[in-house]
Each structure stands twice: as C-alpha cells, then as structure tokens.
Amino acid sequence: MKIFSGNANPQLAKEIAAAMSTSLSPLEIHVFPDGERRVQLKESVVAEDVVIVGPTSPPVDTHLVELLLLVDAAKRSGAKSVTAVVPYLGYQRQDHVFRDGEAVSLDVVRKIIEAVGVGKMVIIDGHSARISQLFSVPLLHLSALSLFAEQIKKLSTFNSQPTTFCLVSPDMGGIRRIKLLSVMLGNMPYVVIEKNRDLESGSLTAEKFSGTIRKRAIIIDDMISSGKTIKLAAELLAENGVSESIVFATHAVFSDHAPDVLQNSQVAKVYVTNTIAVSDKKRFAKLEILSVANLIAKNVILTF
Ligand code: R5P
C-alpha cells in the first residue's frame, strides 16, 4: 500500500502513515502563478493499493481539486485501487434543496469524486448519517465520538461528580450524535436546543430547549465554522443555570473570527480534532486538539 498526502493536512497524513507503520510516499504539487496546480507522484504505484489523504477543508475548492488531481494521477499511473481518506468533506451541509433554485452541492461533489476514479472513501462525522447511502462507492463513515467519550471520562469533574453533567446538541440535527454519546457515557441525560437559521441573512436564534439540564454541559457538534452556534448555545445554557459548558466538535472549520468568538464566549474549553489542520494563528487558549490518526489508521487497515 502507498499513502500520499495533498497540501491540506500533511501532519495528519504523516501521523496516519506512522500509525500504519509506514511513511508517506513522495509527490510534487506545483502551483502555477494563476493558482492552477500540477501534481506528480514521485514513486511507482503500479498494481498498488493507493491511499490519498486530503480533507477538503478551506480553501475548499483548492483542496477538492487537488484531491481529484491526485486520484487521477494514481489511476493513470496504474494503481490497483484508490482510497480517498477525506476526514473533513466540504460542501456537505448543502445536502438537499433548501430553497427553489439551489444546487445540491454534496451531490455535485459526490459525482466528481466518483467520476475521477475513487474506489473507496473514508470520512469522519459527516453532516448527515445518510451520507453513505448517497455515494455509489463504498464509504466508511467513522466517528470521533469514541475519542470524545474517552476524553470526557478523563475530566476531573466528571470523575468526581458525573451526575452534574448533561450532553447538549446545539441544534435538532445533532440528536442522533448525542444519543449515541449518551449511551457511551452510561446514558447521560441530554438536552436539545432549537436553533433557527435565517437562510437569507444567516443570522441565528436559539430560545428553546428540551431535555434534562444539569450544572455542567457538554456541547457536541460536527463542526464549528463561525462559532456562533456554540456561542449562542452556551449563552442559553448559562441563562438556564449551567455553570460550565465544555465543547466537543469534530471539524475545526474556524472561518471568520471563530477563534475570538470562542475564546470570548462563555465556554470553558473547546475540544476539536485534527481532521482539519488548525494554523498557529487560529489557535487560542481554550482550544485543545485531539488526533484522529489512530482511528483512521486502524479502520483503513481493516478495509484492505
Ligand atoms: C449545523 O447544522 C452544523 O451542525 C453546525 O452547528 C454549524 O455548521 C456551525 O456553524 P457556525 O459555527 O457557523 O455557527
């Protein structure tokens, strides 16, 4: 097996390769003055199973095209199979037509990934549980929830006062996620917030919630983009008697001023994973990053 990495998250790719007791194969990605890319695999892949690690994180379009070019290069160079490990898959939120006249971005991305010759896909915490049904190629849908459960069990307050905790989904879309985590944590009670997003202006509101609220809240989400969903959830929880909110989110998209929004919010700590590379300038004091390398390595090995 040969593992290659695009430019999106080479550090994670290195960790995955190390966890599989191998190292990354060399390649060259040349960027032309107009922004176009030329890729070249620098090692033979004839009759090899090739794994390409490339989250389509921001800049999404650039990283998506880079992934497609790498898959094409592997196919043209005689690879036996190509598996795309895309820990964060961009364009997932537009998974249906919300308003007349819109495109279904996820379907467009799926079509081009399949058309270029990906034989298998690996993703982590897709926006919808249905994503594997949308792809025609086998899609391994992994989840960081087990990492989160492990980390939650290590929190000192969790060990001394487990009954003071509740799980929180900051919107209705996350119910499945917190139900699964609740079971992993011995049926911890959970709360679901009713978040509304104005599709025209993008503004968010959250005034209501259902479920059992406790003194300490663990907010779970698949991704943090602007940070507004988390900020709003923490404010609503504080208004309703929660004294400490801790956040666990898989994908650190961190657009706009998300690091400042989160650092200055009422949350005590923000755990994310390294599905997306977080640059130094986007790191902040309350942030902690958990690695998904072992999770990916273990499961990719099992698929061969
Ligand atoms: C929404 O459906 C997602 O699960 C996240 O809650 C959302 O994408 C977070 O976005 P933001 O950080 O911009 O509020």
Q: Which atom of ligand 1 has the smallest separation from the CA of 253?
A: 12
The predicted pLDDT at position 95 comes to 94
The predicted pLDDT at position 182 comes to 97
95: Cβ below 6 Å to ligand 1? no
The predicted pLDDT at position 202 comes to 83
Q: What is the 3-state secondary structure (H, E, C) of the chain?
A: CEEEECCCCHHHHHHHHHHCCCCCCCEEEEECCCCCEEEEECCCCCCCEEEEECCCCCCHHHHHHHHHHHHHHHHHCCCCEEEEEECCCCCCCCCCCCCCCCCCHHHHHHHHHHHHCCCEEEEECCCCCCHHHHCCCCEEEECCHHHHHHHHHHCHHHHHCHHHEEEEECCHHHHHHHHHHHHHCCCCCEEEEEEEECCCCCCEEEEEEEECCCCEEEEEEEEECCCHHHHHHHHHHHHCCCCEEEEEEEEECCCCCHHHHHHCCCEEEEEEECCCCCCHHHCCCCEEEECCHHHHHHHHHHCC
Q: How many CB atoms lie within 10 A of CB 163?
A: 10
Torsion sign (Cα): 192, 214, 289, 266: positive
- pTM metric for this prediction: 0.95
Q: Which has the closest alpha carbon to 173: 159, 193, 202, 187?
A: 193
How far CA 246 is from CA of 194, 265, 267, 271, 277, in Å, comes to: 19, 11, 6, 8, 21
What is the distance in A from the centroid of ligand 1 to the CA of 204? 10
The predicted pLDDT at position 104 comes to 96
Q: How far is Cα 50 from Cα 31, in angstroms, rounded to an integer? A: 23
What is the distance in A from the centroid of ligand 1 to the CA of 135? 23
The predicted pLDDT at position 130 comes to 87
226: Cβ below 6 Å to ligand 1? yes
Q: Which atom of ligand 1 has the smallest separation from the CA of 231?
A: 14
What is the distance in A from the centroid of ligand 1 to the CA of 4? 30
Q: How many CB atoms lie within 10 A of CB 90?
A: 21
The predicted pLDDT at position 64 comes to 98
227: Cβ below 6 Å to ligand 1? yes
What is the distance in A from the centroid of ligand 1 to the CA of 224? 6
The predicted pLDDT at position 65 comes to 98
92: Cβ below 6 Å to ligand 1? no
128: Cβ below 6 Å to ligand 1? no
Q: List, run by run, the mean pLDDT of 10-residue segments along the chain (304 residues).
A: 97 98 98 97 98 98 98 98 98 95 97 98 94 94 98 93 96 95 97 89 84 95 97 95 97 96 97 98 98 96 80
Amino acid at 166: C
The predicted pLDDT at position 212 comes to 87
